[in-house]
Structure 1
Amino acid sequence: MESITQRLLTKAFGRPSGLLGRLGGRLMAHGNAATELHAVALAEPGEQDVVLVVGPGPGVGLEAAARRCAHVIGVDPSGVMLAMARRRCASPIARGRLHLAAGSAARTGAADAAVDVVISVNNLQLWPDVPAGLTELHRVLRPGGRLLLAAHEKWLPADLTTLANMVRVAGFDPVRTCTWDPPGRMASTAAILSAVRL
């Protein structure tokens, strides 16, 4: 049985909804910003790349990707997060550089081999089925497409080595892992995994 604390955390951060979701989104926009920007920089999307951002939350990384790329797609299962991302990213949406939709890692809604880069920051631990999510991301990436996953190291669903093996099984190689300490006293160490679709 889920405790009251777990339910509150889910409403604020897991699957944000209502007032708690909006408050959680504000905290995420501040607390995750450095990792989101770092992940976009590491993924190195180019102007002509199609970028899929999975679980963009309030849209910090999404906005950064839209500054670099002509076509960015963001999918999130939370209506509250999609609304926050729409407000933050109103300009690139109006210019046709960014499209937002309800979705998840396992159900992106993208066509086969339609994406050059996939970025996901601090939501891997929330995927109900990590292998299914990785299979879907492999499907939507073009051969040679790049995957970049970042998550709070302490909240990974498995250790980084096990996660890297899951990514290889899903059809990615090479797979590289590292950790990164965002600036600031409150920031949590990020586990970062990058891979290329075979």
Structure 2
Amino acid sequence: MESITRRLLTNCFGRPSGPLGRLGGVLMALGNAATERHAVALAAPAEQDVVLVIGPGPGVGLAAAAERSAHVVGIEPSEAMRAMARRRCAPLIARGRLRLSPGTAARTGQPDASVDVVISVNNLQLWPDVPAALAELHRVLRPGGRLLITAHEKLLPTHLPALAAMVHAAGFGSVRTWTWQPPTRMAPTAALVSAVRV
């Protein structure tokens, strides 16, 4: 029973695929929308910034980022989510403000020091190797580049102070953590980490 439940959750939210993946995408778009937009506002990308969005899912935060920046890349391992994001963001893609690529936090496929801002919303708990992913995000960020990660507090793989220590160990400075309660009943408390690439 546990393996069936785990498989259902994976197909819905972990690596969304098929009808369950599409359902998961709809639920993510509804439940995460406030946090997605809040994360983009906190990261505050400028028009000329190159923004890397890790695991954008159905594309709510991706669209918010591409409304601020003309150079947004969404890295998403799920084809089902890339399809949903492409539909949601079609006008922004047509204007050349964003592109979607397969990949993960640990394997973005982006060049060294090519990104100004990295945003990740509610997928940290799915990273198989958090230190490897943080090392990759450090690699792609330019010196002075900004990292903003948020995840459901109850799903964090570790406590916020331990996560902050991992971020610092990956070479980031100005590491800050806090929690935020989205203004919707459906969304749980978000844990946030911000840092700067030293």
* Matching residue of 2:171: 171
Offset of residue 186 of structure 1: 1.9
Q: In the alignment, residue 82 of structure 1 is paired with which amino acid?
A: R
Kindly provide the CA deviation profile for residues 150-184 of structure 1, in whole angstroms up to 9, marking residues without a partner as x: 00000001100000000000000010010000012
Name the CA distance, whole Å, in 1 between partners of 2:96 and 2:51. 14
* Matching residue of 1:19: 19
Offset of residue 70 of structure 1: 0.8
Name the CA distance, whole Å, in 2 between partners of 1:3 and 1:165. 33
* Matching residue of 1:159: 159
Quick check: 1:76 aligned with 2:76?
yes
> 3-state SS of the aligned residue for 1:32?
helix
Matches within 5 A, 1:91-102: 91-102=91-102
Offset of residue 88 of structure 1: 0.3
* Matching residue of 1:48: 48
Matches within 5 A, 1:63-142: 63-142=63-142
Percent pairwise identity: 75
> 3-state SS of the aligned residue for 2:62?
helix
> 3-state SS of the aligned residue for 1:128?
coil
Name the CA distance, whole Å, in 1 between partners of 2:185 and 2:75. 30
Kindly provide the CA deviation profile for residues 40-71 of structure 1, in whole angstroms up to 9, marking residues without a partner as x: 00001000000000000000000000000010
> 3-state SS of the aligned residue for 2:196?
strand
Q: In the alignment, residue 55 of structure 1 is paired with which amino acid?
A: G
Kindly provide the CA deviation profile for residues 104-131 of structure 1, in whole angstroms up to 9, marking residues without a partner as x: 0001010000000000000000001000
* Matching residue of 1:195: 195
> 3-state SS of the aligned residue for 1:46?
coil
Name the CA distance, whole Å, in 2 between partners of 1:174 and 1:66. 26
Compared CA separation, residues 155 and 140, structure 1 to 2 (3 A)? same
* Matching residue of 1:149: 149
Q: In the alignment, residue 128 of structure 1 is paired with which amino acid?
A: P
> 3-state SS of the aligned residue for 1:82?
helix
Name the CA distance, whole Å, in 1 between partners of 2:56 and 2:96. 18
Q: In the alignment, residue 42 of structure 1 is paired with which amino acid?
A: L
Indicate the RMSD between aligned Cα atoms, in angstroms. 0.9
Name the CA distance, whole Å, in 1 between partners of 2:62 and 2:165. 27
Name the CA distance, whole Å, in 2 between partners of 1:105 and 1:12. 19
Q: In the alignment, residue 175 of structure 2 is paired with which amino acid?
A: V
> 3-state SS of the aligned residue for 1:3?
helix
Runs of 4+ in 1 over 3 A off after TM superposition: none
> 3-state SS of the aligned residue for 1:113?
coil
Structure 2: unaligned runs, 5 residues or longer: none
Q: In the alignment, residue 197 of structure 2 is paired with which amino acid?
A: R
Offset of residue 2 of structure 1: 5.8
Is contact 2:54–2:75 with CA below 8 Å preserved after alignment?
Answer: yes
Name the CA distance, whole Å, in 2 between partners of 1:24 and 1:196. 32
Q: Provide the TM-score with structure 1 as the length reference.
A: 0.99
